[in-house]
Amino acid sequence: MSVKSAAAGAARASRRPAVSASASRLFWRIVFYAVSIAISVFMFLPFFWSLITSLKPSDEIFSMPIRWLPSRLTLEHYRAAFTTVPFGLYFWNSLVLAASGVAANLFFGSLSGFAFAKLNFRLNKPLFRVLLAAMMIPGIVTMIPSFYVLKHFPFAGGNDWYGAGGNGFLNSFWGIILPGASGSFAVFFMRQFFLTLPSDMMEMARIEGAGEFRIFWNIYWPLTKPALATLGIFTFQAGWNSFLWPMIILNDPDKATIQMGLQAFSYNHQTDFGPMMAGALIAILPILVLFLALQKYFVQGIAFSGTKG
């Protein structure tokens, strides 16, 4: 009998850890979801709240206690944002600037990246090291002299060849596009990508008698689509979101970017939170759309640089 009860006890004991193991697994699962959801909701809440505010009728924005959901949806704040200031024009200006930045960086960045990764020349290593080291220079150091260089650029904006007389590239989109047209990061990023592509295609093409530019343009360039997509997203985001430099260069209100327009609007209309939220969401929208549409390339790019970088 004692043997029997001992055996039963043993059986029970051996079952209990199993039960408690699955119970603890359930417990940790609940903890995982509770924490994850809490954090994610917190991170998402500003988006939700600005969207709700932008769609609320004006009198409900300042209601006490706050209304989580509006009684009716209205687009009046979006209309207000577009009519009190030329938001559409600002949007277009930012789009032009960001798209030019992307085009220039993808082209020049992959040209140089290809040269540094695939071609032999004596200054290859030293020049690349200098470019890389220069990435550590804080932007604040070059801010004032870059302004000077742009102002006194020869033959630009009424300047003579001596760089005097006019305003150079100040108050022109070139003043924003040129300094960032071939960023060191773009060169570095594309070089790392080209390094992973095999070199024998190049030898083959040479035997077939293709010129170096054709080798680059027709053989390697098409293979870099994922890298270009990733670099394109980052460059577009940086261009679209940049604020200080355009504010320094562009004085003409008709040339203002969307970030400048939004800042000026929220500064001048400090209590118009409906139009302010509408404007902020419009300023975020293109990046959000780009991210959602190209998330696949984005993930591929991160996985690529994570495994092979």
Partner 1 sequence: MASISKLNRHQARTAYMFITPTILLFVIFTVVPVVMAFYFSFTNYDVVKNRDWVNFDNYKRLLHDDLYWTTFKNVAYYTVIFVPLNILISLGIAMLLNFRRFGVRLFRTMNYMPTLTSAVAAATVWVWLLHPEYGLVNTLLGYIGITGPAWLAQTETAMLSIILVTLWQSIGSNMIIYIAGLQGVPDYLYESAKLDGANALQRFRYITWPQLRPTTFLVSTMSIIGALQLFDQAFVLTQGGPGNVTKTPVYLIYQQGFNQLQMGYASAQAFILALAILIFSIVNMRVNKSEESVV
Residue ranges in 197-256 that form contacts with partner 1 under rule CB under 8 A:
206, 212-213, 216, 237, 240-241, 243-244, 248
Q: Least distance to partner 1 from the beta carbon of 114, Å?
A: 6
Q: Which amino acid is at 113?
A: G
Q: Least distance to partner 1 from the beta carbon of 82, Å?
A: 16
**CB nearer to partner 1: pick between 15 and 125:** 125
Site residues for partner 1, window 89-128 (CB under 8 A)? 108-109, 111-112, 114-116, 119-122, 124, 127
The answer to the question of residue 40 lying near partner 1 (CB under 8 A) is yes
Contact 85, 253 (CB under 8 A): no
The answer to the question of residue 280 lying near partner 1 (CB under 8 A) is yes
Q: What's the CA gap between 22 and 33, in Å, rounded? A: 16
Residue of 22, 36, 71, 83 that binds partner 1 (CB under 8 A): 36
The answer to the question of residue 35 lying near partner 1 (CB under 8 A) is yes
**CB nearer to partner 1: pick between 15 and 27:** 27
Q: Least distance to partner 1 from the beta carbon of 183, Å?
A: 9
E strand residue ranges, 10-114: none
Q: Using CB atoms within 10 A of its CB, is residue 95 exposed (0-12), middle (13-18) or buried (19+)?
A: middle
Q: Least distance to partner 1 from the beta carbon of 8, Å?
A: 31
Residue among 191, 176, 223 at smallest CA distance from 110: 191
**CB nearer to partner 1: pick between 6 and 65:** 65
Q: Which amino acid is at 309?
A: G
The piece of 41-49, 69-77, 95-103, 220-228 that touches partner 1 (CB under 8 A) is: 41-49
Instruction: Measure Cα distances from 84 to 78, 114, 264, 276 in Å.
Output: 10, 48, 12, 11
> What b/e readout covers 103-128, taking b as 16+ CB neighbours within 10 angstroms?
ebbbebbbbbbbbbbbeeeeeeeeeb
**CB nearer to partner 1: pick between 102 and 281:** 281
Site residues for partner 1, window 142-161 (CB under 8 A)? 142-149, 151
Contact 168, 184 (CB under 8 A): no
Q: Least distance to partner 1 from the beta carbon of 225, Å?
A: 20
Q: Measure CA 135 to chain center.
A: 18
The piece of 2-10, 58-66, 83-91, 95-103 that touches partner 1 (CB under 8 A) is: 58-66
Torsions phi, psi for 252 (to 5 deg): -65, 120
Residue of 45, 164, 204, 293 that binds partner 1 (CB under 8 A): 45
Give the largest CA-CA distance in the chain: 111
Site residues for partner 1, window 158-187 (CB under 8 A)? 178-179, 181-182, 184, 187
Helix (H) or strand (E) holding 101: helix 87-118
The answer to the question of residue 192 lying near partner 1 (CB under 8 A) is no
Site residues for partner 1, window 63-82 (CB under 8 A)? 64-66
Q: What's the CA gap between 282 and 280, in Å, rounded? A: 5
Residue of 288, 293, 296, 308 that binds partner 1 (CB under 8 A): 288
The answer to the question of residue 33 lying near partner 1 (CB under 8 A) is yes
Contact 177, 100 (CB under 8 A): yes
Helix (H) or strand (E) holding 155: none
Q: Least distance to partner 1 from the beta carbon of 9, Å?
A: 27
